[in-house]
Amino acid sequence: MLPIWRLLLVLSAVVLAACGNGQTTTTVTLTGSSTIGPVMTEVARRYEAANPTIRVDVQTGGSSRGIQDARTGLADIGMSSRALKPAEAEGANQHILARDGVAFLLHASNPVDSLSDDQLRDIYLGRISNWQQVGGKDAPITAISRANGRSELNIFQDYFDVAERQIKPDLIAGENQQGIKLVAGNPDAIIYMSIGTAETDQQAGVPIKLLPLAGVPASSQTVADGSFPMSRVLILVTRDDLAPAAKQVLDYALSPAVHDLIEAQAFVPAR
């Protein structure tokens, strides 16, 4: 009699039908590091093409979130671009996916070609503020650091042994792409970033250059052979009670079948 009841009936039928459809595919969720995210998106695409009943959902939001999500069960697999803290490692299984180095980036037009560890440290501690002091032109240095919690900042702090409050940055960048745009748009800027991301963008024509560190050139080769000093491991994190579909995705990501995808992002696959 009343149209509203009919409407409700139709609505509930639609909802039920949608639920019925959803059960034919299984979803595997990955969350975490925005450094690993793009690789795993490619891996997921290739895996889905071969396994149409499994959907792989890759979300980024930082290593800490990935580790937390994997441990709490919000995600099947967490992605971390830093070593786990002891508290985080408890009850978590770690699988090394690849290695990555963090290097310093300058604008391509900057005449400075190398900086010593001491010079880099002094730039970020605010003791050196003009490129002239390190053999460049007379221009103020724009030192860009990274936000609290990002793995690059942790690696930077470990390598130079400085506390966060000692760092006196001119700017702070969040996501990698924001950092790249800041350096590409500022000839006097310096930032530190994952070599993988920086190399990919450099090859794509973005006007940036990577500085050698302690005499070791910043490239995927030196990261691969372990000689690049400021480097990290890219880890996939899981729980013990991993769902079968998630286990398959994990095994696939760690297999040689995806090495070309990892190398395409300028990371070095774990052997």
Partner 1 sequence: MPASASRLDPDRLLTGGLRLCAAFSAALLILVVIFLLLQAGPVLDAIGPWRLFADDGWFPADTAAAGQFSIVALLAGSGAVAFGATVLAAPLAIASAVFCRFVAPPRIGQLFRRMLEVLAGVPSVVFGFWGLVVLVPLINRWQPPGASVLAGALVLGLMILPTIALLADSALRSVPRATLSAAAALGLSRWRTALQVALPAARGGVVTGIILGVARAIGETMAVLMVCGNVVQVPASVFEPVRTLTANIALEMAYAYGDHRSALFLTGLVLTLLVIALVLVAELGRGANARRTAHG
For the bound state, the minimum distance from the C-beta of residue 52 to partner 1, rounded and expressed in Å, comes to 32
Q: Among residues 97, 90, 122, 89, which one has the least CA distance to residue 33?
A: 97
Residue 206 phi, psi dihedral angles, 5° rounding: -70, 135
- Binding of residue 204 to partner 1 (CB under 8 A): no
Amino acid at 239: R
For the bound state, the minimum distance from the C-beta of residue 7 to partner 1, rounded and expressed in Å, comes to 13
| Strand ranges (E), the chain | 26-32, 54-60, 77-80, 93-107, 142-146, 171-173, 189-194, 208-210, 231-238, 268-269
d(C-alpha 189, C-alpha 193), whole Å: 13
Considering only residues 40 through 69, tell me which ones interact with partner 1, judged by CB under 8 A.
61-65, 68
The number of residues that bind partner 1 (CB under 8 A) is 29
- Binding of residue 150 to partner 1 (CB under 8 A): yes
- Binding of residue 185 to partner 1 (CB under 8 A): yes
For the bound state, the minimum distance from the C-beta of residue 15 to partner 1, rounded and expressed in Å, comes to 20
d(C-alpha 178, C-alpha 263), whole Å: 23
- Binding of residue 239 to partner 1 (CB under 8 A): no
Amino acid at 70: A
For the bound state, the minimum distance from the C-beta of residue 97 to partner 1, rounded and expressed in Å, comes to 20
For the bound state, the minimum distance from the C-beta of residue 185 to partner 1, rounded and expressed in Å, comes to 4
Q: Which residues bind partner 1 (CB under 8 A)?
A: 2, 61-65, 68, 139-140, 142, 147-150, 164-165, 169-174, 178, 181-182, 185-186, 188-189
